[in-house]
Structure 1
């Protein structure tokens, strides 16, 4: 998900503050605005140092496998001069005012955590270090310049030492330093180093608590079924058989769904199967995938919002009757998170409520649930948990509000869990997008004009309309608007066409769709010009040395140009977005029957200053496998208004025996940190299709790959 944030534009929000907390702890963090500090019960995000020396970090971001419960503590530990084992991480409570910097919205997504918090976290740690040193210097009656911090202690040049816990009382009475002195990156001891993840032990031994693990005394369980047709409503339900089943306690009717509440989830599922439900299928009862496709392709003919317009691409293209043109399609995709959607809600007799769930938007989830319950937000307590896969799906609160709607009719805590079928068939999907691309080549074979037009739904318009730029969805054009190559006449344009199918952000969002198209079409242009794909790209990157560097590194490490067996090929693609430059080479083979085996992926990434290289590698590996899943298998189709796929048998996920060897090369850089959660996925699509062309001569403009198209003639 793209946002208006530019690295370096916002380094902190509000005012750095030092304060005392209950139990004699020292608190350091940022209040959101001037004048609010005095009355605030809690600082946003950041750290409390207890008299025993323990440092508690209130983490403003959700941990959903991306490693922020380790990388953010690294930033604190580096500047505070403590060891990683001294840090305890806790989930932040839902509060967009305190934990929503720099956007005013408390969310985790868009590969933004390190980009937006690299400076604030370092400043917090450094400010705490400085006041602790000042407190020690005051006690010793020496200059702070004669003191330094190390391993949770302040040390004087004479050898005297005081532990942080001994200084928190005095330090909490000091003012925050007006000028925070940060370390020079060359002096980093923790940042940039591989650090073991703080959440690994709990996730290994089973003690880690995800939303689905929530346990509440007296809790009931609910299974839910939603109208099978997009936009359908509940007409009637005969629950007489279900109510006779063992363990079934209640049947709850909602506007478009029915829930069965029981003593355990199995009983609830059995009760659900026994219901006789009649649905009002509504206006989309005959909707099919082709209807959505035609809608998006037709929208390419409508005027759109221009994201970038260098020179006059349209005029140049119109004058060239030999221009090269193509239509590309991005299919609908599910998120298929390993932890299905779930939430536990207890509506209490005293007019309050509690929620236990895993969400990327805790403040929104609480506030939206409060509306359903008819309660003020402050009457609702939300406990956010570790998230077993987000990928953008848990940026939405529908599963939490549904659980609230069920719970308001149940006189007990109730855990609502979606089945895998519910999750895939009634989720929010990556939308179907259509792209038209066209180019005019000069005498040297390079494009002198290039046009890219996108048509499809705008998730940003619904999620954060204030982030639209003069009506333009900046997420949908990301990657296209900063296409790196030297092209004198270049146009990027987007037409919004939302369609009937509910859509959502999906890992890699705009760049996932756009780079697959742009880098695939660039290979088409290289072929038309009779040029080698890598050299073709490098010849057009005079202003982008970081882009050229990752292309060269990926190619070099992949053995680019070395011979391969018949029906094998390598494809290369460049991805620039989220402040990150990344190039991938996919090596694959295609059997005579058209079966594709991805054997190796080499990725070179320049994401600026790295916090934890192990996390970078893990995220790239994860993103690549997620992208291969989409490229080989990913497809949601609609027939008679219904999603045809239902579980992993017909919406398959890449298995471990299908996963390729992945090599990740990280560029040592001191540039501002870039995002890393999504680039691996966003760079994969075109590298895959370009490799298929190299192996078979078949040009793929719509994923997933189809075996029948790749059979040997």
Structure 2
């Protein structure tokens, strides 16, 4: 069986040889078993799992985190290169094999990418891997040259002994280094001696993604491959009652139609035929367990829960007494947040192949590859040892590929299982499948009441949050209340509760999880309270953040960047927000006018971010810019709506649209220097943009934003 369109970076990796090293001893034969092996007849000694040094001096890191645009290939390679004293031109990166033990995310105990944890959980681990490799290369050089190891230096990928004039690249010593005993505790550099960490190094995947040679799952094909597409119901929770494939099977290129638990699968020789065949199907759906309420009906049901006792997240002081005190102003608000699809550029897809020996190869953008392997094993009834998940570059995710129990991979497996397995299958979702496929950021509703005194001190705060538990919990789900239950502002009287709801709409984390709605609710409400008593939005926040120096630092920096307090051009207004998510602090100021369409026109965004040690400021800035664009599109335009009878309304980018290039504001990013441990940047750029825009809009028009997206409020 021939698989086509392998990544050029992978081909380069397979051509290497030499030393493989890391921090957790891996069993012999690990890489051969996982389809990662040396080419060209060169032998490899497997010591460990993270760093491979080739005979050509290249250094390849095996990334335990998927690269779907957020930068782990570059970030993890930087950590290794720094301690190895490699030259950046030597560095390469590929995805690691699927193994929940060897490649576990230290933040949550299995192999996976999420929670903006890639750099945070790998910072010390990958630095130690680089330092270990360096120590072993130095030990090998000392033996080879008969000189003390203490006299050997390593710089820009060259090992040297000044007194004897001996010098070598890494590759020539790699095999001998592999025989050395790794140091139990490799010595790491003092941060003041960093050469690469903190520099704006070019990303390892930029060239391939720019010239079109980068390979995504969509690019992977196999000889004699069938395309499979599944017809899903228009209502969540509906199942197949019966179907008629007569017309579908008449379509040229369609070879089979099979019912699977998720719907009805159409198999064809090419994508067009699969689409035509699926469109010709007649399916009768069983609606017994379907969600038949509209979004408006669900919102009305949510509102009823405000009167019930909720799950307490935070309860301190006496909120009722605070509200009744003399000299305070009070505000009440109810906010509604819609379902949101992730809408990555590359919809879900996978290629699955059964080999002559009965083993399975699966190619997909695996965010949780170990979970995907387990799902394939369970559905197909094949031992996990005979399944290889080959992680490909992912065309975005924003949480979409990180599903509990890998339901998409279970659908892939069911589609394959329904055949005789003799032909490879490429299982594809269209954009419409993806937008209408569920696993949304849940719909949420907030009821809020707050009091503030003339000095600008918030004296009381009550917040009730209604929505699905993303974690599927019956008790309090911390992801529903994060950012509200741990309010950064000094509020003596605080009461926050949550109400879990049960819907047939599958829920999933969306870029920045709970902060997508709590950040908006908190920051717009704080702003309204401050405006009520005539306090400046920046100074008022700073006065309440005395115990939060990193919040204060980012807020002060962004105010400096925007020259806060200076005159604003006529017809424009500025808004501010500051949100900590995933231990990263981000403050943003926006400048907004009323556009020709009546919507907010965001002209400029200033952004200050404190994410601890900055591994690569260029990547950090890019992630802030991307988060701002993603979050701005969502707050202005995006909602998945259940219409009359619960039928999904939206289907593609024409009615669930992303921010367009002419709508992207100018963004200026400042990365605050820090010696704190590094934290994530993939998600924290998203939460502040929505409330900053809403705050500017309210000050500009006098109308607070109570329901998202803003387009619906303006149009209605």
TM-score normalised to the size of structure 1? 0.90
1:49 CA displacement:
1.9
Which has the higher mean CA deviation after the structures are superposed, 114-123 or 136-145? 136-145
Partner in structure 2 of residue 10 of structure 1: none
1:437 CA displacement:
2.3
8 A Cα contact 1:343 1:399, kept in partner: no
1:316-338 CA-partner distances (Å, limit 9, x unpaired): 44778964332222211111111
Q: Please give the secondary structure, in 2, of the residue aligned with 1:234.
A: strand
8 A Cα contact 1:484 1:541, kept in partner: yes
Candidates 470, 474, 481, aligned match of 1:477 = 481
- CA–CA separation in structure 2 for the residues paired with 1:545 and 1:574: 12
8 A Cα contact 1:296 1:432, kept in partner: no
Candidates 553, 576, 580, aligned match of 1:576 = 580
Partner in structure 2 of residue 90 of structure 1: 94
Candidates 642, 650, 661, aligned match of 1:656 = 661
- CA–CA separation in structure 2 for the residues paired with 1:108 and 1:553: 30
Candidates 424, 444, 459, aligned match of 1:413 = 424
Partner in structure 1 of residue 10 of structure 2: none
Candidates 339, 342, 345, aligned match of 2:346 = 339
1:603-626 CA-partner distances (Å, limit 9, x unpaired): 111111111111111111110000
Partner in structure 2 of residue 30 of structure 1: 23
Partner in structure 1 of residue 248 of structure 2: 242
8 A Cα contact 1:30 1:43, kept in partner: no
Q: Please give the secondary structure, in 1, of the residue aligned with 2:522.
A: helix
- CA–CA separation in structure 1 for the residues paired with 2:696 and 2:628: 15
1:309 CA displacement:
4.0
Candidates 492, 515, 525, aligned match of 1:488 = 492
8 A Cα contact 1:579 1:673, kept in partner: no
Change (3 A) 1:314 1:175: farther
Change (3 A) 1:305 1:184: farther
1:130-189 CA-partner distances (Å, limit 9, x unpaired): 222222223344332222211222222414223322322332232222332111222221
The number of residue pairs the alignment matches comes to 681
TM-score normalised to the size of structure 2? 0.90
8 A Cα contact 1:608 1:671, kept in partner: yes
Partner in structure 1 of residue 67 of structure 2: 63
8 A Cα contact 2:369 2:391, kept in partner: yes
- CA–CA separation in structure 2 for the residues paired with 1:318 and 1:500: 41
Change (3 A) 1:61 1:692: same
Q: Is it true that 1:599 corresponds to 2:606 in the alignment? A: no
- CA–CA separation in structure 1 for the residues paired with 2:179 and 2:687: 49
Candidates 395, 399, 402, aligned match of 1:388 = 395
Structure 1 gaps of 5+ residues are 1-20, 463-467
Candidates 168, 173, 181, aligned match of 1:162 = 168
8 A Cα contact 1:314 1:451, kept in partner: no
1:465-509 CA-partner distances (Å, limit 9, x unpaired): xxx9xx542322222243222222334433322422111110111
1:415 CA displacement:
0.8
Q: Please give the secondary structure, in 2, of the residue aligned with 1:98.
A: coil
1:312 CA displacement:
4.3
Q: Is it true that 1:459 corresponds to 2:464 in the alignment? A: no
- CA–CA separation in structure 2 for the residues paired with 1:395 and 1:94: 14
1:682 CA displacement:
1.3
Partner in structure 2 of residue 371 of structure 1: 378
- CA–CA separation in structure 1 for the residues paired with 2:667 and 2:323: 40
Change (3 A) 1:269 1:141: same
Query: How do residues 212-291 of structure 1 correspond to structure 2 at under 5 angstroms?
Result: 212-284=218-290, 286-291=292-297
Which has the higher mean CA deviation after the structures are superposed, 81-90 or 217-226? 81-90
Change (3 A) 1:363 1:289: same
Q: Is it true that 1:546 corresponds to 2:539 in the alignment? A: no
Q: Is it true that 1:362 corresponds to 2:365 in the alignment? A: no
Q: Is it true that 1:505 corresponds to 2:509 in the alignment? A: yes
- CA–CA separation in structure 2 for the residues paired with 1:576 and 1:286: 37
- CA–CA separation in structure 1 for the residues paired with 2:15 and 2:354: 30
8 A Cα contact 2:217 2:364, kept in partner: yes
Root-mean-square deviation (CA), in Å?
A: 2.5
Q: Please give the secondary structure, in 1, of the residue aligned with 2:102.
A: helix
- CA–CA separation in structure 2 for the residues paired with 1:22 and 1:564: 58
Change (3 A) 1:708 1:498: closer
Change (3 A) 1:146 1:481: farther
Q: Is it true that 1:434 corresponds to 2:454 in the alignment? A: no
8 A Cα contact 1:583 1:603, kept in partner: yes
Candidates 635, 642, 645, aligned match of 2:650 = 645
1:567 CA displacement:
4.2
Change (3 A) 1:129 1:140: same
- CA–CA separation in structure 2 for the residues paired with 1:618 and 1:497: 36
1:313 CA displacement:
4.0
Partner in structure 1 of residue 360 of structure 2: 353
Query: How do residues 40-51 of structure 1 correspond to structure 2 at under 5 angstroms?
Result: 45-51=49-55
8 A Cα contact 1:446 1:529, kept in partner: no
